[in-house]
Structure 1
Amino acid sequence: MPEGHTVHRLARLHTRRFRNTPVRVSSPQGRFVAEAERLDGQVFARAEAWGKHLVHEYASGDMVHVHLGLYGKFSDVPAPMDPPVGQVRMRIESDTRGVDLRGPTACEYFTPADLDALVARLGPDPLRPDADPDRAFARIHRSKRALGSMLMDQKVIAGVGNVYRAEVLFRHGVHPMRPGTDVDEAVWQDMWDDIVELMAVGVRKGKIITIRPQDDHGPRGLRGRPRSYVYRRRGEPCRICGTTVLGEVMEGRNLFWCPTCQPD
């Protein structure tokens, strides 16, 4: 599932492609037809991201909410676009560019009230300038849930996924099973600042980079992925201390950590 930096990159891209431009909107797949007809010909105002949620806003006040989920993906091509291939839920096209959306978990018409309701149930997004880390810490510190679990809870912090969760915990020497009530506020502030910085790099570079330059050595990761400290490295030696990286499933998602660098 794309993490928050990917959705913020999409918001910036779509704003750059379509801002203040009348667009043609269609649903070749047929599952978004009525909404597309309402939007067709309208002026695209901007796109914004809240965590893993993307919202297209039109000058009329109409909105579209997209959640990519596990399989959703936008293509981006020059106009005129070729005939659609596959299950295209939504197509947006201007005179110069176009995007096709395939396989999203959600693609739905939204109103400003719908957006307010969505934002109200999300935790702070580290990539938004108005994000309040104290709001996340308040939820963390009053809970006995494992911090590794809460970092993936979008109601606690919006946009963090499995990679950032594993890597940030490692970078700060925090065991993923540490209860929220045992998390020190200063430690949380350091982690938050790190998440903000790492995700901002992800937006700029278009990929997750978490490993410090002095630790960045050895062969590339699987299929050329950027190297990581512990993510997807179960059974391999820790890059810092050589201890075998551990892994288990936490609430349906794979979790990785070093038992020496991240003690109980």
Structure 2
Amino acid sequence: MNTVFERFALAGKVALVTGAAQGLGAETAHTLAMAGAKVMVSDLQLEQAQATAERIRAAGGEALAMRHDVTDEAQWQQVVAATVEAFGGLDVLVNNAGIEKMALFTEASVEDFRLMHEINVTGVFLGIKHAARVMRPGAAAGKGGSIINLSSVAGLVGMPALGGYCSSKGAVRLMSKAAAVEFARLGYGVRVNSIHPAIIKTDMGVNVVRGFVAIGLAPDEASADAYAESLHPLGYGQPQDVSSAVLFLASEASRWSTGSEIVIDGGACAC
């Protein structure tokens, strides 16, 4: 039987992480690489993605970077094919790329609503589709794998000024479950799970706090920050709290987990 450390190791695995130029994506790419995976860092911001890959290489990991618009199906095909060609396979996909735009329902624009769904939902759909195509038996990678979709606690509970974001992340939650059941029934050997973080102090998390002020839900940034932190009994989370959950789902330690939702929220949803 493998030791506990071997069950979490990713030596010999290949991972693709979208939206990995900064924030949770960059931390996740680094974590997977330090666990032994070869990592393709993809992002619309190529220079920042290359910087993430360079930091991984400087730390002793193996990584490459590609420009990637997750709403473009042709680019998904190119990035997946390039990952398989460069590293010899694809075992883990982390659908991390996403955006968040705050607005009250009465003030929200259709354009912003559609853009969130195009990136947060269509982007995840395309990732699931093209990763599974190469992971399933007889395909270019053909060893099965793990697809990890970043949803949010906003995909589990309603939040003010985040209606469009909530609906997009709720869609990611149920799409993950549907793919998990389908791939299991078809014998693909591809597991699909979702992760649901609460507010993490990345740039996106800071923007949420500022958004509470801009929309009139808090009088100033200090009050908004105190309110947001109070929603989490354990306080704010850190990027590594989320990347640790990704590592679990990427590894053999989670071999019997599919269609699951892992909530990383400092107790927010328990209140």
TM-score norm. by structure 2 comes to 0.24
TM-score norm. by structure 1 comes to 0.24
Q: Which protein has the bigger strand share?
A: 1
Larger Rg: 1
